[in-house]
Structure 1
Amino acid sequence: MQKSNILKEEIPRKVVAASISGSIFAILMGITDPNPFGDSNLSTFQYIRAFFLATPVYLMYSFPVILIYGVLTSAISDAVARLIARRTKLGFDTYFSLVFHVIFGLILLWYSLVASILFFITDYVLRRRDKYNWVSAVKSLVIPVLTIIGFMFVVYLMDIGR
């Protein structure tokens, strides 16, 4: 892929992938570990409330890392995978890219590994769709913001109902 196509199409697609996968990752973290510093014996209502409280916090801390580190390492992974696939004439650039995503995702072990695989899957699905530009990349940044607002609104409604 040419340098101009990378900046015009690939990086914006990866920003969209980061917005989607970052929000999904925060929700998954909220489901699996809604109360990371507290008691693990929660009633159903406490679990749901902790899930809605923890998800925006997970998103606030994980999304910038997924956006910056994820987009950068994913672009590097894809470029190196294309180079290896072209040199070996095997055509397994997707598999090579997955391997590099996993390697870059091992920086914080399981948490970042899950995020990198989720990022890879999201980027792979988006790759099959339309072309992405910088306008769609900027618009996609609304996804994490709306996720935070939505979860905080549910917490607000839970507090009013008490």
Structure 2
Amino acid sequence: MTVLYRKIAAASIAATLHSILLGLLFPTPFGESVKDGYFWSFMTTTPVYMSYVFPAMFTYGIITSLLSDKAGSWIAQKSGDSRLDIMVSGSLHLVFGLVLLWFSLPGAVLYFLTDRLLSKFGSKVKGSAAALSLMIPLLFFALFVGIISIGTA
């Protein structure tokens, strides 16, 4: 169960980072010119990205990450080479991240790196920590919407 808790925490962190990254790279998602300035375009599109990225990473990301890790550990165990675990898992994260190409691939990489960092330094992520990690995207969403509300008032 601690693996699932770690995956939930990794999804919360990675979804937030990925949404901010998408907002920075694509402040106007449909390619139109920036009208209100880069900052306001970034501020207004990031919550929109969050509303799509978070549910996708929470469902598809967690499921495919569990499958990738299982496949990696199974192949590493069968071959006797422990290095294959991270290589197979990382490769499968990349393959599963190719669904939407440039929009989803950075998210898959961020999710993989976040999950590996949590597994290495986070000891065992407990249920309370996983539940608390769900506040990260909500707080960032509220922060962005609050700044937009203050700026347009």
TM-score bracket, normalised by the shorter chain, equals: over 0.9
Please give the per-residue CA displacement for 1:28-53, whole angstroms capped at 9, x wherever unaligned.
Answer: 0000111113632x36x621011001
**Partner residue, 2:133:** 140
* Per-residue deviation, 1:55: 0.4
Please give the per-residue CA displacement for 1:70-120, whole angstroms capped at 9, x wherever unaligned.
Answer: 011001100110000011111111111101101111111121111111100
**Partner residue, 1:149:** 142
Q: TM-score, normalised by structure 1?
A: 0.89
**Partner residue, 2:32:** 39
Residues 46, 78 of structure 1: alpha-carbon distance in 2 compared, 3 angstrom cutoff:
same
Unaligned regions of 5+ residues in structure 2, if any?
Answer: none
Q: Quick one: which of 25, 47, 50 aligns to 2:18?
A: 25
Percent of aligned positions with the same letter in both sequences?
36
**Distance (Å, rounded) in 2 between the aligned partners of 1:73 and 1:111:** 17
Q: TM-score, normalised by structure 2?
A: 0.94
Q: Quick one: which of 47, 57, 60 aligns to 1:66?
A: 57
Please give the per-residue CA displacement for 1:13-68, whole angstroms capped at 9, x wherever unaligned.
Answer: 0100000000000000000111113632x36x621011001000000011100011
Q: Quick one: which of 33, 46, 49 aligns to 1:55?
A: 46
**Distance (Å, rounded) in 2 between the aligned partners of 1:83 and 1:142:** 34
**Partner residue, 2:97:** 105
Partner AA of 2:108 in structure 1: S
* Per-residue deviation, 1:130: 2.1
Say whether residues 1:95 and 2:91 are aligned partners: no
**Distance (Å, rounded) in 2 between the aligned partners of 1:100 and 1:66:** 15
Q: Extract structure 1 runs of 4+ deviating beyond 6 A.
A: none
Superposition RMSD in Å: 1.3
**Distance (Å, rounded) in 2 between the aligned partners of 1:138 and 1:19:** 10
Between 127-136 and 56-65, report the one with greater CA deviation.
Answer: 127-136
**Distance (Å, rounded) in 1 between the aligned partners of 2:102 and 2:42:** 20
Unaligned regions of 5+ residues in structure 1, if any?
Answer: 1-7
Larger Rg: 1
Residues 37, 110 of structure 1: alpha-carbon distance in 2 compared, 3 angstrom cutoff:
closer
- SS of the residue corresponding to residue 104 of structure 2 reads helix
**Distance (Å, rounded) in 1 between the aligned partners of 2:133 and 2:90:** 23
